[in-house]
């Protein structure tokens, strides 16, 4: 089974080849001293790679000859061990040769450290840490051979002198020559030269979070990870050396130590494979097919880089720029670019940290290899936006946020399709399979998630969906002339490469609009537009309509008061709501932090100073506003996060626009909102939402002939779920109850899922019946009005109570009063309730699933009776009369003083 | 014959003695150098942000108005800790992680991160860390 490897080559041996490689390595090393500067290792190496092709060639020769020298020496050792006859060797020489093997590894690792890049720095620290752990003399050895860790000088001297001389001496002693055979030398030199022209010796960027070290020590890294006391790994090294020494001393031609060494080599190879492919950032386990970065150990096998052949051509006069200590070649060609923001421009972060590629080459193909044209998509955000030096905390938490994983959307849909028991399950858009609900989501809904990649350059528009960090932070200069052409022509425009978009904090409503004008229609509601079922071709005049996506027709009703005041979405919603706070929430109202009372409050309690701000808020505040060192900010009640655009000054609370230079005074709520007992559970939204969209008559069926789309894979497919809808309406929203930890609150709701689903059309199973659901959902309509709704609009309104449209009358018969209701819509055949109702008149839906949440319910029968009791008063008394005002303060005591003319309802 | 053995033995004895002397000199030299080279304390501005701030050799953690300065050298093998995830300090080399007070969460490290002494100078608004 164990065959010698020397049979792979003829007329020479691996030992002879190693000798040739050693000479090549030493001589190329001598020449490399010229461009290398030990005081600026990383800078001098990246500089020589970009400006000195001849030096680059020497460096490649030095690197490749060294790697193969190590490999061939190990094979040479193996070959000698497989010989049947014992080698007669002077024991003292054998001892020196054994130490020589160790010295070769030391020469290799010091060469690695002399690169001065981020990996080298960590390797230096690990090496130092290991040496220190040698008992008794470890610290002394470290200080003698490695220095204090600040400079590479010690390591430089020992790499080029001490270790090299020792290796040469032991080679001369046993080879027993230092001069390789001419033919061996010529063949080796030629091979190394070809390799050096094609493949660049690597230089690590320091941006990737994966640190692995050189290929021959990846297995050792794995061992270090597994042992808590690194001193034990030194024992392993000692053991190996001991086994080596024992080979000529053991009986049977050293059978036992040789087998043990072979066994260790195989285990080491196995650990190397694990360390190479199965370990990601922070040496965490990862499955290789799930990672994009298996080449975290150097992968010099990228495209052939012909730049070393540039030594035959004139080098251009442009020198590379030095960014973050690193020379980058990008701007040598891409000169004169404009449009960058202050913090994300080449002078501050370079080009490479976002776009990747190869910044150490001047060759066009090689530079662009592995480049990300559009960085910022979530799939590769970890390597661009989220590297160690940049926004690592954000990219690691954004996937737990709902805009990325769509957990609530998916769980509610599966809940409605009766596939899961609770809509509160935490899931992710990456976990969709082939159930009817999952197919429905893939056809209709899930394109709106941050993980959806942006593949075309160009601004974020109405049609944009997803795009990772770019979904919010990408802005093109309005004066960008290359945008004036169609997307297809943009790349041919002469200014295409001159205009670079900006990554900044100007997150305007246009960024939110693409996704949020669908589903709950928050973006369009906010601007006052209500979607109709009209056909654009049928419109009498386009004048008072708005057409979105060419086919959707909107009419104007009334915009949100905050929109009137020119506030943007982000003036309310802070970075922790949008990018997540690393907690997984089941539904959007749980992830939202802001509440009306955070700005509209009676006194400036719950504040923080600038010095108390968390890092992220402080950075954003500092970027947006000047002179904030002494500012006092308001915080949210729910999660105590600073509202960085607020200010408390001179006992007044202010709000600054984030995207505009507007300043607002934050007014407290009207006294009528908060006095008295009656309305203390009514949420601001319940009264102040001017209108909300609603729909009826929704039916879903799967049509296998309908051209469809798989929104996860972004591919067209045959067959799709199709939704049919009856009517879209807009009006004052229905009200309901949300049960909270401390009690309950009255909130607006909209028809969430009032529909039928033809399951059998998808499953083709005759036993699957038609599903009917009547569920309402909590809503934040984003149609805030300054004036609240009238009393009768809740207390005497069948829609507000959830009965649906219709005629609600109070009939007095002698001295008894009765409420009667006639619904406008016919009763639905499935459950006998009117089409648009949530609950039956003076009825409840006990035992039924009534909403898309486990904590939202229609008014109970008792609650309906309370509301309608007051409604009865309102049939006689004016809303603004003294009696009605008193009823808000204390109804129970008031009702005891009613006159004989008052006829309260009986039930 | 006897004299030959005595001379050889004597020379070997002298060589061994010189070896020990050399070791002693070596130890002396290294000790003297490290004693005379005091690591200068590092000064950073006081206005660091609340939360975790990474510097070259140390980490400054600020909560409310309290400071804590930890060494950034992982106690496993000395790699520089420069990442944080979910209130844990992560070492990029072999997977060790620490709580913000320096206690080990996951190995292979076993010792907690040492706390470093620091001084606050309110006049100049600086924080000085002794390495």
Q: Give the pLDDT confidence of A583-594 residue by residue, as tens digits.
A: 899 999 999 999
Average pLDDT, chain B: 86
Enumerate the β-bridge partners of residue A321: A328
Determine contact, residues A729/A530, Cβ cutoff 8 Å: no
Written as six digits, the tokens of A666 are 């934050």
The verdict on B85 touching A (C-beta cutoff 8 Å) is yes
Distances (CA, A) of A69 to A108, A161, A515: 10, 18, 58
Task: Give which of A258, A249, A198, A228 is closest to A77, Cα–Cα.
Answer: A258
φ, ψ at B91 (rounded to 5°):
-95, 130
At A844, give phi and psi (nearest 5°): -130, 180
CA distances from residue A540 to A99, A532, A534 in whole angstroms, order as listed: 94, 14, 11
Are A731 and A692 within 8 A, CB to CB?
Answer: yes
Alpha helical stretches, state H, A752-879: 760-763, 791-795, 798-801, 861-874
Looking from the CA of A721 toward its CB, the CA atoms found within 13 Å total: 26
Instruction: Provide, as residue numbers in chain B, all residues whose Cβ is less than 8 Å from the Cβ of A230.
Output: 76-77, 108
The CA–CA distances, whole Å, from A492 to A485, A486, A497 equal: 9, 10, 10
Number of residues in chain A: 907
Tell me the three state secondary structure of residue A696.
strand
| A268 φ, ψ (degrees, to nearest 5) | -65, -40
- A52 vs A35: CA distance, rounded Å: 9
Nearest to A687 by CA among A815, A587, A791, A585: A791
Of A228, A229, A282, the CB nearest to B92: A282
pLDDT tens, chain B, 131 aa long: 556 668 888 999 999 999 999 999 999 998 888 887 777 888 887 777 667 888 888 999 888 778 899 999 999 989 999 888 778 998 988 889 999 999 999 988 999 999 999 998 888 778 888 88
Residues of chain B contacting A614 with CB distance shorter than 8 Å: 49-51
d(Cα A421, Cα A418) in Å, to the nearest integer?
7
| Residue A430 contacts residue A441 (beta carbons within 8 Å) | no
CB-CB neighbors (< 8 A) of A130 in chain B: 77
| Cβ–Cβ gap B79/A125 under 8 Å | yes
Which residues on B lie below 8 Å from A281 (Cβ)?
Answer: 92
Mean pLDDT of A582-609: 92
- Name every chain A residue with its beta carbon within 8 A of the beta carbon of B76: 129, 224, 228, 230
Contact map slice: B 9-68 vs A, CB within 8 A: 26-27, 30, 33-34, 37, 47, 49-53, 64-65
Burial of A92 (0-12, 13-18, 19+ CB in 10 A): exposed
A125 contacts on B by Cβ (under 8 Å): 73, 77-80
Q: Contact B79/A211, CB-based, under 8 Å?
A: yes
Q: Which residue has the higher pLDDT, A702 or A289?
A: A702
Q: Cβ B27–A615 below 8 Å, yes or no?
A: no
Q: Measured between CB atoms, which of B64, B93, B107 is closest to A228?
A: B107
Interface test with A, best of B94, B105, B120, B131 (most A CBs within 10 A): B94
* Residue found under tokens 């290991």: A130
Least CB-CB distance to B77: which of A125, A143, A281?
Answer: A125
Query: Where are the alpha helices (H) located in A87-181, listed in sequence order?
Result: 91-113, 118-132, 138-141, 153-157, 163-174
Mutate to test the interface with A, among B92, B107, B109, B131 (most CBs of A within 10 A): B92
DSSP symbol at A905: B
Mean pLDDT lowest among A184-193, A608-617, A815-824: A608-617
Contact call for residues A424 and A586 (beta carbons, < 8 A): yes
Strand order in A663-665's β-sheet?
Answer: A646-649, A652-656, A663-665
Quickly state the pLDDT bin for A459 (edges 50, 70, 90): confident
Contact A211 B93 (CB under 8 A): yes
A320-331 mean pLDDT: 76
As for the ipTM of the complex, it is 0.87
Between chains, do A282 and B90 touch, taking CB under 8 Å as contact?
Answer: yes
Separation between Cα atoms, residue A265 and residue A260, nearest integer Å: 9
Helical axes A218-226 vs A251-277, angle rounded to 10°: 90
In chain B, the residue whose alpha carbon lies closest to the alpha carbon of A386 is: B83
B52 neighbourhood in chain A, CB within 8 Å: 615
Set of chain A residues whose Cβ sits within 8 Å of the Cβ of B91: 282
Residue A605 has pLDDT above 60, yes or no: yes
The values of phi and psi at residue A724, to 5°, are -115, 135
Task: Return the percentage of chain A with pLDDT > 70, whole number.
Answer: 93
Torsional sign, CA A401, A404, A405, A409: positive
Between chain A and chain B, how many beta carbons pairs sit less than 8 Å apart?
98
Q: A225 and B94: CB-CB below 8 Å?
A: yes
Put residue A348 in one of left, alpha, beta given phi > 0 → left and psi -120 to 50 → alpha. Answer: alpha
pLDDT in tens, A260-278: 999 999 999 999 999 888 8
Burial state string for A144-176 with b = 16 or more CB within 10 A and e = fewer than 16: bbbbebeebebbbebbbeebbebbeebbeebee
CA of A125 vs chain B CAs: smallest distance (Å)? 5
Sign of CA dihedral A8, A9, A10, A13: negative
Residue A486 has pLDDT above 70, yes or no: no
Check B94 against A224: CB less than 8 A apart: yes
Is the predicted pLDDT of residue A699 greater than 80, yes or no? yes
Q: What is the pLDDT of residue A325?
A: 65
DSSP A423: T
Question: Cβ contacts (< 8 Å) between B95 and chain A: which residues?
Answer: 225, 282-284
Which are the contacts of B17, defined by CB distance < 8 A and separation ≥ 6? none
Please name which of A702, A746, A747 lies closest in space to residue A443, comparing C-alpha atoms: A702
With CB atoms and an 8 Å threshold, state whether B78 touches A129. yes
pLDDT of A411 > 50? The answer is: yes
Residue-wise pLDDT for A164-207, tens only, equals: 999 999 999 988 888 988 989 999 999 999 998 888 888 877 66
User: What pLDDT score was predicted for residue A296?
Assistant: 43
The residue behind tokens 């959830």 is A802
pLDDT value at position A295? 47
Is the pTM higher than 0.90? The answer reads: no
List CB contacts (< 8 A) between A615 and chain B: 49-53
Closest CA to A122 of B63, B102, B80, B83: B80
- The answer to whether A857 and A845 have CB atoms below 8 angstroms apart is no
State the Cα–Cα distance between residues A202 and B38, nearest whole angstrom.
Answer: 36
Is residue A669 exposed (0-12), middle (13-18) or buried (19+ Cβ within 10 Å)? middle
Nearest C-alpha neighbor of A18 from the set A101, A59, A63, A76: A76
Of A703, A669, A715, the C-alpha closest to A688 is A669
SS3 call for A859: coil
pLDDT digits (tens, 9 = 90+) for A95-124: 999 999 999 999 999 999 999 988 899 899
Q: What is the mean pLDDT of residues A218-227?
A: 90
Q: How do residues A499-534 score in pLDDT, each as one tens digit?
A: 889 999 999 999 999 999 988 899 999 999 999 998
Gap between the Cα atoms of A582 and A576, Å rounded = 9
Q: What burial class does residue A59 get, using C-beta atoms within 10 Å of its C-beta: 0-12 exposed, 13-18 middle, 19+ buried?
A: buried
The pLDDT assigned to A407 comes to 95
Q: Does A311 touch chain B (CB under 8 A)?
A: no
Task: Give me the residues paired with residue B66 across strands.
Answer: B63
DSSP H stretches of helix in A247-344: 251-277, 330-333
Q: Which of B52, B53, B95 sits opposite A282 (nearest CB)?
A: B95
3-class DSSP state for residue A715? Answer: strand
């Amino acid at each position: 089974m164990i065959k010698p490897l020397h049979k792979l080559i003829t007329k020479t041996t691996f030992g002879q080849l190693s000798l040739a490689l050693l000479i090549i390595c030493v001589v190329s090393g001598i020449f490399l001293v010229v461009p290398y500067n030990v005081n600026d290792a990383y800078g001098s190496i990246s500089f020589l790679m970009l400006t000195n092709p001849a030096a680059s060639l020497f460096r490649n020769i030095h690197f490749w000859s060294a790697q193969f020298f190590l490999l061939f020496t190990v094979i040479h050792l193996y070959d000698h061990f497989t010989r049947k006859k014992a080698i007669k060797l002077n024991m003292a020489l054998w001892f020196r040769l054994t130490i020589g093997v160790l010295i070769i590894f030391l020469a290799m690792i010091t060469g690695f450290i002399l690169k001065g890049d981020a990996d080298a720095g960590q390797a230096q620290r690990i090496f130092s840490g290991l040496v220190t752990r040698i008992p008794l003399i470890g610290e002394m050895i470290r200080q003698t051979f490695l220095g204090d860790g600040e400079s590479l000088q010690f390591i430089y001297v020992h790499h080029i002198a001490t270790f090299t001389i020792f290796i040469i001496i032991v080679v001369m002693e046993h080879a027993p020559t230092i001069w390789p055979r001419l033919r061996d030398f010529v063949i080796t030199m030629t091979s190394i030269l070809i390799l050096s022209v094609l493949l660049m010796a690597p230089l690590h960027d320091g941006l990737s979070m994966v640190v692995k070290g050189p290929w021959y020590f990846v297995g050792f890294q794995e061992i270090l990870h597994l042992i808590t006391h690194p001193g034990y790994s030194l024992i392993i090294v000692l053991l190996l050396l001991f086994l080596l020494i024992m080979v000529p001393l053991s009986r049977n031609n050293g059978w036992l130590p040789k087998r043990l060494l072979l066994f260790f080599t195989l285990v080491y190879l196995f650990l190397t494979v694990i360390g190479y492919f199965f370990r990601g950032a922070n040496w965490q386990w990862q499955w290789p097919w799930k990672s994009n970065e298996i080449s975290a150990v150097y992968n010099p096998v990228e495209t052939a880089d012909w730049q070393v052949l540039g030594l035959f051509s004139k080098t251009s006069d442009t020198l590379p720029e030095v960014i973050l200590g690193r020379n980058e070649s990008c701007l040598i060609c891409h000169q004169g670019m404009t449009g960058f923001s202050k913090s994300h421009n080449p002078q501050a972060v370079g080009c490479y940290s976002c776009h990747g590629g190869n910044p150490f080459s001047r060759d066009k193909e090689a530079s662009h290899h592995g480049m990300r044209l559009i960085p910022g998509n979530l799939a590769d955000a970890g390597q661009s936006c989220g590297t160690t030096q940049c926004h690592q905390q954000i990219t690691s938490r954004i996937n737990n946020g709902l805009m990325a994983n769509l957990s609530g959307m998916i769980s509610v849909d599966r809940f409605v399709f009766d596939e899961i028991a609770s809509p509160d399950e935490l899931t992710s858009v990456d976990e969709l399979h082939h159930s009817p609900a999952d197919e429905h989501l893939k056809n209709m809904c899930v394109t709106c998630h941050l993980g959806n990649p942006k593949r075309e350059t160009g601004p974020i528009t109405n049609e944009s969906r997803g795009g990772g960090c770019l979904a919010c932070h990408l802005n093109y200069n309005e004066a960008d002339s290359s945008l004036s052409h169609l997307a297809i022509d943009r790349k041919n425009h002469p200014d295409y490469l001159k205009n670079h978009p900006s990554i900044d904090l100007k997150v305007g409503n246009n960024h939110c609009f693409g996704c949020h004008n669908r589903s709950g229609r928050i973006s369009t509601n906010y601007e006052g537009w209500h979607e109709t079922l009209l056909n654009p071709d049928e419109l009498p005049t386009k004048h008072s309509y708005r057409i979105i996506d060419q086919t959707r027709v909107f009419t104007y009703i009334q915009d949100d008061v905050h929109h009137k005041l020119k506030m943007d979405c982000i003036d309310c919603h802070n970075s922790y709501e949008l990018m997540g706070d690393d907690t997984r929430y089941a539904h959007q109202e749980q992830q939202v932090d802001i509440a009306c009372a955070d700005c509209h409050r009676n006194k400036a309690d719950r504040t923080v100073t600038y010095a108390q701000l968390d890092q992220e808020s402080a950075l954003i505040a500092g970027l947006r506003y000047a002179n904030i060192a002494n500012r006092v900010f308001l915080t949210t009640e729910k999660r105590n996060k600073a509202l960085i655009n607020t200010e408390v000054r001179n006992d007044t609370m202010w709000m600054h626009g984030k995207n505009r230079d507007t300043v607002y005074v934050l007014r407290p709520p009207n006294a009528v909102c908060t006095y008295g007992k009656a309305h203390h559970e009514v949420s601001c939204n319940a009264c102040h939402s001017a209108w909300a969209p609603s729909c009826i008559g929704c039916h879903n069926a799967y049509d296998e002939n309908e051209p469809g789309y798989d929104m996860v894979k972004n591919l067209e497919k045959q067959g799709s779920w199709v939704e049919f809808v009856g009517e879209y309406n807009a009006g004052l929203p229905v009200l309901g109850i949300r049960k909270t930890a401390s009690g309950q609150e009255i909130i607006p709701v909209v028809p969430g899922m009032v529909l039928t689903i033809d399951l059998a059309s998808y499953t083709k199973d005759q036993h699957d019946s038609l599903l009917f659901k009547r569920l309402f959902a909590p809503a934040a309509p984003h149609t805030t009005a300054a004036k609240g709704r009238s009393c009768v609009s809740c207390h005497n309104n069948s829609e507000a109570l959830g009965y649906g449209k219709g005629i609600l009358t109070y009939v007095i018969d002698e001295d008894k009063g009765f409420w009667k209701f006639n619904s406008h819509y016919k009763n639905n055949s499935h459950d006998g309730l009117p089409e648009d109702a949530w609950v039956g008149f003076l009825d409840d839906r006990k035992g039924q699933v009534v909403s898309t949440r486990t904590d939202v319910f229609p008014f109970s029968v008792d609650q309906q009776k309370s509301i309608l009791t007051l409604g009865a008063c309102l049939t006689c008394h004016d809303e603004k009369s003294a009696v009605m005002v008193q009823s808000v303060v204390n109804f129970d005591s008031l009702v005891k003083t009613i006159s004989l003319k008052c006829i309260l309802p009986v039930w | 014959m006897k004299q030959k053995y005595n001379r050889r033995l004597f020379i070997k004895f002298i060589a061994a003695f010189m070896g020990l002397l050399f070791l002693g000199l070596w130890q002396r030299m290294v000790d003297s150098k490290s004693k005379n080279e005091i690591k200068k304390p590092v000064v950073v501005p006081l206005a660091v942000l609340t939360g975790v701030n990474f510097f070259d050799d140390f980490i400054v953690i600020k909560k409310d108005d309290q400071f804590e300065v930890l060494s950034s050298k992982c106690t496993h093998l000395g790699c520089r800790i420069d990442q944080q995830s979910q209130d844990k300090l992560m070492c990029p080399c072999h997977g060790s992680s620490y709580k913000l007070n320096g206690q080990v969460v996951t190995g292979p490290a076993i010792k907690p991160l040492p706390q470093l002494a620091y001084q606050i100078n309110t006049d100049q608004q600086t924080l000085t860390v002794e390495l």
